[in-house]
């Protein structure tokens, strides 16, 4: 029997591309996209779409029962930068939605859950180079706190109640289809859009701020890989470190200049600099590579080529 999938937060940056991929893999009729509003018409109009409020248990349960869902991808969240502006809103959305899904899985309404964590679980006391899976974790953002606490609850629900929950600590994700919103790594997407539209970008991080990053195709591949891995292969039930590449704003600007010599950049760090300073520079993801054979494909040069090519088509 084919999986019946519900994606909550399907209009967002990762949710939208995950929806497209899962529809390709499992058939459009088996993948229900949902969000709190009709904010991404490509997703709303390209298959079954439902309005679901991730903070409302009944709203999720009705949808799960209506479509006989067995697998949920919970992609709704308030990210690091927005979370600092609206701390309680971030706490409420990020935690309530997770508990609703874990409790639905515990009560056997669903069989399998994907829940994204983030490099934001790490803090300024974490070793910044080649950050290990198991290390000091003192996140300083509300978003990071929700992800760290969420990881503990995922592991708890797995150990105590047998819930099949799987999770990845995503780095910054670079993509051209849907814009990210409210994150600290968003600069690495905005820079490509501005390069095409204005030939210029004013960056909110310092030029030498190195952060872990990944192209969307790799992030989607990792998500599908962990979700299709055998249960026994997924040994970590909090969340896996996941890595591809790391770079600074200066390095992205230089890679853009390789193709657009006229591109210019200025640096005006704002409150997001402190968030970025608290995160690792690069990540050791050897458990993911070992346990379910994770392997990334895209380096910075590939990403820049693809981003400029796709955005050129989009804007012209």
- Catalytic positions, please? 143
Give me 91's structure tokens. 């706490």
Token pair in block for residue 203: 């960056």
**Structure token digits, residue 312:** 């050129």
List the one residue out of 283, 187, 184, 300 whose CA is nearest residue 239: 283
Residue 14 beta carbon to ligand AKB: minimum distance, rounded to whole angstroms: 9
Determine contact, residues 174/216, Cβ cutoff 8 Å. Answer: yes
Query: For ligand AKB, which is the closer residue by CB, 6 or 120?
Result: 120
Q: How far is the CB of 293 from ligand AKB (least distance, A)?
A: 24
Report residue 126 as tokens: 């974490």
Q: Which residue has the tokens 């599908």?
A: 224
Binding site for ligand AKB (CB under 6 A): 79-80, 118-120, 143, 170, 172, 183-185
Q: Where are the alpha helices (DSSP H) in the chain?
A: 13-26, 41-44, 57-67, 80-85, 87-106, 142-161, 187-197, 216-228, 249-259, 272-277, 286-291, 300-315
Least distance between ligand AKB and beta carbon 230 (Å)? 27
Measured from the CB atom, the residue of 157 and 170 that comes closer to ligand AKB is: 170
* CA–CA distance, 34 with 48 (Å, rounded to integer): 8
Q: How far is the CB of 18 from ligand AKB (least distance, A)?
A: 15
Nearer to ligand AKB, 32 or 205 (CB): 205
C-alpha 205/C-alpha 281 separation (Å) is 14
CB of 143 to ligand AKB, least distance (A): 6
Nearer to ligand AKB, 234 or 283 (CB): 283
Nearer to ligand AKB, 77 or 311 (CB): 77
The three-state secondary structure class of 233 is helix
């Amino acid at each position: 029997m084919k999986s019946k999938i519900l994606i909550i937060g399907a209009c967002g940056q990762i949710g939208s591309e995950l929806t497209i991929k899962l529809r390709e893999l499992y058939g459009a009729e088996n993948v229900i996209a949902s969000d709190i509003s009709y904010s991404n018409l490509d997703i709303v109009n390209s298959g079954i779409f439902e309005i679901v409020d991730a903070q409302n248990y009944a709203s999720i349960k009705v949808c799960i029962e209506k479509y006989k869902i067995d697998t949920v991808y919970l992609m709704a969240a308030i990210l690091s930068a927005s979370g600092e502006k609206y701390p309680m809103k971030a706490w409420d959305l990020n935690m309530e939605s997770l508990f609703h899904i874990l409790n639905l899985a515990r009560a056997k309404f669903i069989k399998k859950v994907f829940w994204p964590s983030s490099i934001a679980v790490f803090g300024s006391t974490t070793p910044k180079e080649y950050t290990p899976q198991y290390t000091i974790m003192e996140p300083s953002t509300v978003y990071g706190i929700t992800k760290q606490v969420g990881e503990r609850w995922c592991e708890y629900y797995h150990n105590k109640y047998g819930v099949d929950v799987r999770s990845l600590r995503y780095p910054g994700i670079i993509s051209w289809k849907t814009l990210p919103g409210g994150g600290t790594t968003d600069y690495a997407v905005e820079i490509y859009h501005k390069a095409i539209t204005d030939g210029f970008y004013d960056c909110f991080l310092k030029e030498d701020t190195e952060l872990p990053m990944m192209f969307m195709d790799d992030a989607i591949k990792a998500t599908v890989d962990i979700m299709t891995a055998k249960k026994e292969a997924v040994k970590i039930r909090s969340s896996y470190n996941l890595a591809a590449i790391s770079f600074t704003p200066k390095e992205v600007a230089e890679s853009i200049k390789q193709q657009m010599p006229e591109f210019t950049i200025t640096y005006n760090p704002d409150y997001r600099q402190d968030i970025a300073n608290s995160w690792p520079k690069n990540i050791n993801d050897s458990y993911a590579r070992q346990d379910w054979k994770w392997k990334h494909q895209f380096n910075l040069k590939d990403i820049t080529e693809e981003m400029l090519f796709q955005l050129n088509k989009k804007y012209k």
